Chains A and B, each alone.
Chain A
Amino acid sequence: MGKEECKTMLDALNKVTACYRHLVIALGSTSDSQNLREELKRTRKKAQELAVANRTKLTALLKDKTISKEDRSEYERLWVLFSSSMELLEVDMKRSLELGQNFPLKVPTRHLIQTGMTGSTTTVAARAISVQNIKYEADSNIDTVDLGDLQAEISQVSQMMEEMEMKVQVAPWAVEAKQEAGAELKSSMSVGNSSVGVISICEEEPKEHESGGSRDAGFASICAVVIFFVIVTVAVVLGYLVINMS
């Protein structure tokens, strides 16, 4: 159904927006690097694709005059979600442009701020683009080249948003949210197929079938412990048999 598809795509866009923000926050700090710029670029591309897909879908749905009232209010809610995501994305893109210009990588004296962050953001980007491992294949001057692309993309996005506003007559303040205050504390997400799964408040790994790369360290250690006990048990059994046999 149209609604389910929409929701899936919106969730994906939401995820990408969140990850993009994390990546932009790392810009200019000590965890900045060539890779980060490439990650930003690819996340952006993904975001663009999703945005376009969402937009076409939602505009088509909203332009349809033959839908019922509840359907229409639901689509309007989805529209508000979409436009808010796009606003965040646009701001983040503009900021990444500014930060990219202020903190170029290929200068003799790099002055990245010593913020205390030293790790890489690979995992975040992997989550965003939904791949297991990212292969970095960009050239060395990605930071300057990319900025030109970025500017073009920003203007594209702004244009798209303006078009959206013109074409679709949705009053965002009239939309009522389904979630009440404190909804983020609840353990389940009200989402369909994108199945980010059941999350609990404590730090467990989220079961996602989309992002294979997001194994938590905890999961690995639990696996290791389990395997260890299995091996110990097997060893004990074998030893007992050996002793019995001899």
Chain B
Amino acid sequence: MTIRNTLRDYGQRYRPRMACLKKAEKVLLEMQDPKTGVKSQPQRLVITTIPHAITGEDIIAWLADRFQIDTQEARKFGSMLVALGYIYPLQDHKRLVVKPDASLYRFQTPYFWPTQQWPVEDTDYAIYLAKRNIRKKGILELHEQEQYNRLHKWMNHKWDFIVMQAKEQYRAAKERKKPDRVVFDCQERAYWVVHRPPPGTVSAMDYGLDRRVDPNADEAKTHDFYERIMIFTQQSIMRPRVKSSVSIGALVKYCATYNSHDPFLSKCLPSNPWLTDDVTYWTLNMPNVEIPTKMRVERWTFSFGELLSDPRGRDDFRLFLKKEFSGENLAFWESCEDLKWGTAATMREKAEQIYKTFLARGAPRWINIDGKTMEITVNGLKHPHRYVLDAAQTHIYMLMKKDSYGRYLKSPVFKDTLKKAICPEEHKFTDAQLDQNAKNRRPSLSPIILRQQEQEQRAKMAASATVDITQLCRFTTPVPHLAVYSGITDYPSANASPSLPFLTHTPACPSPISVALDSTSASERRAETSEGEGEGNPQTRAPIGGNVSKPRMAFSLRRLLKRGCTPSTMFASLSPKCPSAAGTSSRIQPISPDQPTQAPPRRIGNFFQIKVDIPPECRIYPIESEDEEEENRAASRSGVGAKEIICPWESLTPQNGMG
């Protein structure tokens, strides 16, 4: 059974999207009138003369006269007629604009007029390409060649027909006289330039998706139909209502604020790329640009959501928070976003990672949320899903908004950025330059390449990530290999929408697991060689939760705690490996007041509410003092009743040496 195109009648009747077509046809009929229309002249080719050619300036003059508009608007109107395909240019046939000079145009035959009722078929296009192939003796343009190959692949079952029909049509066309043949060729070519535009041009006939259902048709009054009406009205009743003064006030405020930032309503500096074909505006506003534009920085002051949704703004904010040593809030927020927008397979790991890094008692980057939210979150984490951290994320968001945002706007970081922001000059292109720009249009990088670049950048940043640890306990002090979420990297996708705060997908962080993995494996190797203890057990022990990579971090931590006394030596042995660690550790040192260098050993467990049973001769040593002696002593320790941070929803499997 042939599959017929059942969607043939879905044009104007279903949604008069292109009401302009009927109107344009009327205008065209007037225009082509031999007496009152545009002046026509014959086109002189080498041998033949073809009548009914019109010049661009005549078109513009006639339109300006008929509709009483100025030349600029007449020109735009004429260009629209050309772009739709009612008039086609005879020279430079690929650029569908009206040039206000003596360049020639001609009217298109009604068969080739644009219409939504008769969809443009690929079969016809294939036949046209085959005919062109014959005519040009096999030399097609690049995009035509590509289309040809593609159609040959997809319409293979019809290919015999296409070849036959192409040959026949070619021969039938030859039956006509030479001038008519030339005209016909031009007509057909123009038609296909409009409906299958060459790459780099936009077809004026793009009107989005077609509707399968006629919205004006009567719908059968079935049970379903009434049920839908009922549900709709019930929901309408339940909808929360706002006083119109409030809502209108909000709208007015929004319009007033964003009026100067809207590229339709006000000027777009330096120039709107869609109008002038000059992409400076886009390069200046790339997501990870060094120096933002003044307009962009101004938008950050509008609301906190704007700041966060702009990647550059987020970078700035992150820098500010780093200076204030409260970067964990933003890091937590970002990792929550990552969880929400990430793949389902990684959700469980991510949730646990986040818990360990931010929420657990004694976590390295502990965030400050109230007890109730914490309870809800921890309960939810027993069965993690995408939105399990929503409550905590909202809390932190409000915290940042009410507290840090205000300080950020007054901070030197912001003021500095504001001062450095550039305000580009407006472009003033002449017509010739505009033509030049149009010729030099190039497609931008493919999104696949962009994503690869993003990932490379992220990996690079992850490798050199600095650690931002807020709480210092002995377990967290110099843990460079637990290079947790530092939140430095930020190369998100470029489609940030300012109105929706949580919309942007920013997989900003390197997965802490991967980083931990890299350095952990290195550290483990080193540890093994240096200590050489029977550490086979932790490695071969079946990981909790069945995930090999996740508890690696836990492993190393557990191993250190097992040794019981001087994790700092272990850390110390690790520290030379990570060059940034030394820097961070020296930075971290001053923060914790509880790390006396020569303090007598004491029970520090209670401070951070970790029930740790540490042998009294333990000392906390600063990182720099790598002590071989201590290391040896560490090796001889056995058994420690230290409890590490594990997720409360996981059952404690009986492990050797763990309390």
Contacts and interface: CB of A to CB of B under 8 A. Distances in A.
A17 to B, nearest CB: 7
Interface in B41-57: 43, 50-53
A174 to B, nearest CB: 7
A150 B2 CA distance: 24
A96 to B, nearest CB: 9
A177 B184 contact: no
A95 B157 contact: no
B52 A116 contact: yes
Interface size class of A (residues with CB under 8 A): 35 or more
A63 interface: no
B123 A88 contact: yes
A24 B52 CA distance: 20
Interface in A21-59: 21-22, 24-31
A15 B112 CA distance: 21
B220 interface: no
Nearest to B42: A116
A118 B40 CA distance: 14
B461 interface: no
A172 interface: yes
Interface residue SS majority, chain B: helix
Interface string A157-199: 0000100111011111111111101111100010000001001
A114 B4 contact: no
A100 to B, nearest CB: 10
Contact of A117 (B109, B133, B159, B169): B109
Nearest to B29: A111
B73 interface: no
Interface string B105-143: 011111110000010010100000011011001100000
A221 interface: no
Given A18-B165, A28-B110, A124 B175 contact: yes
Contacts of B183: 115-117
A67 interface: no
Contacts of B169: 18, 21-22
Contacts of B187: 25, 115
Contacts of A182: 133, 138
Contacts of A143: none
B86 to A, nearest CB: 9
Contacts of A127: 171-172, 175
B227 to A, nearest CB: 35
Interface size class of B (residues with CB under 8 A): 35 or more
A115 B161 contact: no
A28 B4 contact: no
Interface string A192-223: 00001001010100100000001010000000
Nearest to A81: B161
Given A111-B33, A170-B2, A181 B149 contact: yes
A184 B28 CA distance: 37
A128 B169 CA distance: 11
Given A18-B165, A119-B180, A26 B33 contact: no
B160 A116 contact: no
Given A15-B168, A27-B111, A99-B110, A118 B161 contact: no
Contact of B157 (A128, A176, A185): A176
A214 B175 contact: yes
Interface string A80-111: 11011101100100010001001100000001
Given A15-B168, A95-B111, A115-B106, A178 B174 contact: no
A25 B111 contact: yes
A80 to B, nearest CB: 6
Contacts of B138: 182, 185
B363 interface: no
Given A103-B110, A184-B167, A95 B118 contact: yes
A172 B2 contact: yes
Nearest to A86: B2
Interface string B1-23: 11110000000000000000000
B544 interface: no
Given A24-B111, A26-B109, A206-B171, A115 B159 contact: no
Contacts of A77: 160
B172 A201 contact: no
Nearest to B43: A116
A123 B176 contact: yes
B134 A184 contact: yes
Nearest to B167: A184
A14 B32 contact: no
B601 interface: no
Nearest to A94: B118
B134 A201 contact: yes
B443 interface: no
Nearest to B38: A114
B152 interface: yes
Contact of B163 (A30, A102, A111, A183): A183
Nearest to B134: A184
B34 interface: yes
A164 B51 CA distance: 46
B522 to A, nearest CB: 56
Interface in B485-535: none
B152 to A, nearest CB: 4
A121 interface: yes
Given A18-B169, A175-B157, A165 B163 contact: no
A199 B171 contact: yes
Contacts of B131: 184
B177 interface: yes
A211 B148 CA distance: 32
Contacts of A9: none
A194 B59 CA distance: 49
Given A173-B157, A179-B163, A121 B107 contact: no
Contacts of A99: 110-111
B157 A172 contact: yes
Nearest to B169: A18
Given A27-B110, A164-B2, A179-B159, 10 more contacts: A18-B165, A25-B111, A26-B109, A80-B157, A113-B28, A114-B107, A116-B183, A185-B137, A189-B164, A189-B167
Interface of A: 11, 14-15, 17-19, 21-22, 24-31, 77, 80-81, 83-85, 87-88, 91, 95, 99, 102-103, 111, 113-119, 121, 123-124, 126-128, 161, 164-166, 168-179, 181-185, 189, 196, 199, 201, 203, 206, 214, 216
27 contacts: A15-B172, A18-B165, A18-B169, A19-B172, A21-B172, A22-B169, A22-B173, A26-B109, A27-B110, A28-B111, A80-B160, A81-B161, A83-B2, A84-B165, A99-B110, A113-B28, A115-B187, A116-B107, A119-B177, A123-B176, A161-B4, A164-B2, A176-B156, A177-B159, A181-B148, A189-B167, A201-B134
